[in-house]
Amino acid sequence: MIHCENCKEFISVYDKYCWKCGAKNVDFEEGLSCPKCHIKILKKNDIYCRSCGTNLKTGKKKEDKKEENLCPKCKTKFDKDDKFCEKCGTKLK
């Protein structure tokens, strides 16, 4: 929550206009949005999306950095020692 520059009422950082006086939210920037969840991003210097955590420069979530073992065919998780996917039988590397 932030204060409206005009009437000092609390407004959401995601509001384009103040709900009380109709003044434009000076922190709202049109057109900047997250590449993953498409929510509007309000500050040019934001590094991560405030909604889903995606890095706005790389387009990847923080969790994406750690390598996750997913079957390339059915996307089922598997242990690093598994040779075949237990769900679909695909050979794993």
pLDDT by position in tens, the chain (length 93): 788 999 999 987 778 889 999 998 877 766 677 878 777 765 667 888 877 888 887 777 765 444 578 898 998 888 888 889 989 999 987
Same domain flag for 49 and 76: no
Quote the domain boundaries for residue 28: 1-60
pTM exceeds 0.75 for this model: no
**Contacts (Cβ under 8 Å, ≥6 apart) of 11:** 1, 2, 3, 4, 18, 19, 20, 25
How many independent structural domains does the chain possess?
2
Same domain flag for 71 and 51: no
Is residue 16 within 8 A of residue 22, CB to CB? The reply is no
Same domain flag for 7 and 32: yes
